[in-house]
Structure 1
Amino acid sequence: MKRDEFSRPYLQRTCPEGVVPEVWQAFAECADCRDSAERQQKWMNYLAIHAKYYDKQGNRLAPQSQPINSQIMNFFQQLDALDLQGDLKIVVTKNSDRLIVSVMLNNPKCGDKAANAIVPLILKGTAEELDKGFFDNIAAPMRETSSLMVNMEAHLKSVATAKEQAAMNKEKKPTETKEVAPPPPVDMKQLQFDQAMSKADELAKAKKYRDALNKLPAATDYPDKAEQIEAKRKEINGLALQGTMFDTSTVEKSTVEIA
């Protein structure tokens, strides 16, 4: 196949060597289709045609000597391709030159009574018309019905599980909770005092003595702590004078004896 053929629609491409032209035609129609509903029908048609010439492993089937056997096999292969969950009931009634086909899907595992409201799908037509359009007309409705019943059953199971869990929770004894005493109220004035003194110590350690003195709280704001503030002020002043001519920490005391 030439390189530029990959950019062309499948219907305009050459059938690959070894592929049955009828199968390639059906595949190309499906691949080029853009409508989702129509594409689903074309895909089912492709599967049906593919099953006429190949098995599920992709191996080419030997030509059938009796066409009717091929048609019967093709019918059940298409049923299998629908992948429905449940029992598919098909009733065929002949009315003059036309056939009335009733198709009903029932899932015994679905316990929801709402499933009983689903009515059979009725198709009418000649045998030839039904041969051509039977699977195209039942594929989407039967798949939707199958999915609906599976979801209904899953919903019922989830409700049952929720009820069991609720019953288990009721049986559990409530755990006793101890009352926790509320924390004592914070004395904001004391907190501010402690923070100022702590900051003054921190600045003094960093040898920022002037900043440390400025950070000390005012004695007028804390008259009950005036002595503590003054002691801290003297301590910082003493640190600031260390190593200077005013440092009195290293001066030895002398005694004078009077004869």
Structure 2
Amino acid sequence: MESSYTLGRIHSIETMGTVDGPGIRFVVFTQGCPMRCLFCHNPDTWKTGAGAGTLMSVEQIVDEFESNRAFYRNGGITVSGGEPLLQPEFLADLFGAMHARPAGRVHTCLDTCGYAFDPDRPELTARVLDETDLVLLDIKHADPAGHRALTGRDPGRILAFGDELARRGIKTVIRHVVVPGYTDTVEECEALGRLIAPWRNVVGLEMLPYHTMGVAKYEQLGIAYPLAGVEPMDKARVPELREAVLRGMREARRR
């Protein structure tokens, strides 16, 4: 079909992903991101436009997936980034092609920060969401000022995207990176729970401990690392903070 030749700007592909949705995943990382999270460990995905990433067609990606289809029988395809929603036509065509495979429908998962969603023009992403089985939605900070300090962007579009997912009933897993000194307090996590409580489509919560594995990329690119001196998150605290999020959700839903 004609849409199978839609081109996307791709950063890289991981053929055996185990943390990007259920089962073993074929993970496509797109090029380009509008956010500048202080804890980002992939600054090489930021650049957009001509010369950024590798141009690949939907057909090329489908063929690569199919060459190892047996590995993904309990998983599927995940598109991450960068920010996939910067390329909605490509993403919609790719997910649509995966759903229409002659050998059987492939589960599709979108890993996104949601910032590229335009609440004034929801039609731009409508076709993507029509073909999306699961969303991994990154909520960076529960407080608007904290969100701007941590990412350089206002959270309004992200929350509007969350509302749209809830309206559509698309299964969504909330992801929250726990950064010492930024998002590691019980109060912030409880506030996150209250924020996402209205979204009845939320089926999971992942608290991701901050790490410093991306520092080497900043050095290679000649970029100053924004969180220099911040130690990796103590993983032992994660269960406590996860429970704080769930407590905030429960309390908000009882009101």
Higher RCO (C-alpha 8 Å, min separation 6)? 2
Which structure: greater helix fraction?
Answer: 1
Both proteins in one fold, TM over 0.5: no
Give the TM-score normalised by structure 2: 0.20
State which structure, 1 or 2, has the greater radius of gyration over its C-alpha atoms: 1
